[in-house]
Structure 1
Amino acid sequence: MDFPAPLVPATFVRRYKRFFADVVLADGTELTAHCPNPGAMLGLNTPGLPAWLSVSDNPKRKLSHTLELLEADGGLVGINTLLPNRLVAEALEAGTIPELAGYASVRREVKYGKASRVDFLLEDPVRGRCWLEVKNVHLMRTPGLAEFPDCVAARSTRHLEELADQVTAGDRAVALFVVQRTDCEAFSACADLDPAFARGLEAAAEAGVEVMAWACEVHPGEVTIRRALPWRP
């Protein structure tokens, strides 16, 4: 997925109130950017990290800049949690993920469970239905190991239960973890930060939910889903 315009380089100063990030542009201008990430952003809150921002010309926006990428551990990391759904939509159209290719139709934000909307519903007259939940991953504490979540994620745990219910009903269900960084070789649930989610992921897998993780190529001009990573329960 190409960014619609070149990203603006900056230096990260601080992140606060979850959705605000102070940065300094290359010319010394200080500004507040939108930070589209509700998580803890562990390892990515360090002042002085190189950052890249997108810029909107929408006059109705209070903040014209959005924090998209940070440089950490020697590589670029995508922090925008809204981006993975767009990346997956692109990958589904291109057939990048073989296990999810070949469905006749793809719908987004379809109601399911008690009060949820699944990210994607793939449907086919022969193959049936596949309920697909997408999660953004940017945490790496052990070199090469991507982890999710980086804080307690009760909503994500509920999604796993709802995916398992779809399998029980006779459909296919997939939990897809999109790793917005290039330096990981495996994926694992973060059991020490959210033991309920880790248990929930294993329980969902035992119920028949397919667990997939795919790493991205991350550049200032584009972010693209590229390669599968093994899941380490």
Structure 2
Amino acid sequence: MMKISPPLQEVTLLRRYKRFLADVRDADGNEFTVHCPNTGSMKNCVVEGGPCWISDSGNPKRKYRHTLEVTSTPGGFRAGVNTGRANALVQEVIERGLVPELAGYDSIRREVPYGEERSRIDLLLEGSAGPCYVEVKNVTLETGSGEGQFPDAVSARGAKHLRELQRLAESGVRTVLFYCVQHTGIERVLPAREIDPDYTAALEEAVAAGVEVLAYGARIEPDEIALERAIPFSLGQG
């Protein structure tokens, strides 16, 4: 589990705008702007006037000292919108042996350059059986009845990563797409066909080529975030 110290501060979300900014109000009525570390649309993750949680860098010299970490959703769930936490969350559960599919590796390296399109793999697992390339994606789009989808906006970068993984898989290297589901209401994951058909097509080709897909869901609290449960993934065809 990822301990958060000091715990996240609960505030009221006023609005999210310009993609990387959000205005909030604290319990004393002070309004201020925080950094929003999420490049997606955050569809179904923004409730203006609802509670959200922020972290404090403790650095008064930062332009935006605070960071938006968790939001409330229209369905009353919590969504971890700081995509920068996803890699660490996944690395932690792998190192603790909580992902049986990825057990038995001796070491993990992060952000290792690879591929024809000058990519960096999020996690490179290495051991006697050979390497395993793990690409991590943060899932927060819930579309109803526990269904989660990725991406929440057109993602040319996501499709690029799938092409890179597919090439490795076709050459016999183990590759894994790991959906880090930072949303307490998502119980299964599918590709967002209507939002990004190109990503969906690339995902179908990658899976056909041997790229494995895993999805794990998170418990989200002000003082810790932890991936605790495997979640079914489906291409949703037919």
- Kindly state the Cα deviation for residue 43 of structure 1 after the two structures are TM-superposed: 1.3
Whether 1:82 and 2:89 are equivalent positions in the alignment is no
Render the CA deviation track for 1:61-83: whole Å, top value 9, x for unaligned. Answer: 11111110111212211110001
Write out aligned runs for 1:87-106 (5 A): 87-106=89-108
TM-score (norm 1): 0.97
Whether 1:132 and 2:130 are equivalent positions in the alignment is no
C-alpha distance in 2 between matches for 1:163 and 1:2: 31
Question: Cα RMSD over matched residues?
Answer: 1.0
Gaps of 5+ in 1: none
2:33 aligns to what SS in structure 1? strand
8 Å contact kept, 2:70–2:80: yes
Question: Which residue, out of 106, 109, 123, partners 1:107?
Answer: 109
- Kindly state the Cα deviation for residue 60 of structure 1 after the two structures are TM-superposed: 3.6
Q: Return 71-80 or 209-218, whichever deviates more.
A: 71-80
C-alpha distance in 2 between matches for 1:9 and 1:24: 9
- Kindly state the Cα deviation for residue 115 of structure 1 after the two structures are TM-superposed: 1.1
Match of 2:49 in 1: 48
2:53 aligns to what SS in structure 1? strand
Match of 2:62 in 1: 61
1:156 aligns to what SS in structure 2? helix
C-alpha distance in 1 between matches for 2:156 and 2:40: 12
Gaps of 5+ in 2: none
8 Å contact kept, 2:46–2:72: no
- Kindly state the Cα deviation for residue 59 of structure 1 after the two structures are TM-superposed: 3.8
Question: Which residue, out of 217, 227, 230, partners 1:228?
Answer: 230
C-alpha distance in 1 between matches for 2:198 and 2:50: 32
- Counterpart code for 2:169: V
C-alpha distance in 1 between matches for 2:182 and 2:88: 12
- Counterpart code for 2:202: G
2:172 aligns to what SS in structure 1? coil
Match of 1:198 in 2: 200
- Kindly state the Cα deviation for residue 45 of structure 1 after the two structures are TM-superposed: 2.7
Whether 1:34 and 2:35 are equivalent positions in the alignment is yes
Whether 1:174 and 2:170 are equivalent positions in the alignment is no
- Counterpart code for 1:20: L
C-alpha distance in 1 between matches for 2:17 and 2:158: 23
Match of 1:155 in 2: 157
1:164 aligns to what SS in structure 2? helix
Post-superposition, which runs of at least 4 consecutive aligned residues in structure 1 deviate over 6 A? none
Render the CA deviation track for 1:94-140: whole Å, top value 9, x for unaligned. Answer: 01111111101111101011211000111112x11100000000000
Question: Which residue, out of 211, 215, 234, partners 1:213?
Answer: 215
Match of 2:188 in 1: 186
- Counterpart code for 2:22: A
- Counterpart code for 1:53: I
Write out aligned runs for 1:114-125 (5 A): 114-125=117-128
- Kindly state the Cα deviation for residue 4 of structure 1 after the two structures are TM-superposed: 2.1
C-alpha distance in 2 between matches for 1:45 and 1:52: 12
1:74 aligns to what SS in structure 2? coil
C-alpha distance in 1 between matches for 2:127 and 2:79: 35
C-alpha distance in 2 between matches for 1:142 and 1:198: 19
TM-score (norm 2): 0.95
Q: Percent identity?
A: 47
- Counterpart code for 1:12: L
- Counterpart code for 2:68: L
- Counterpart code for 2:218: C
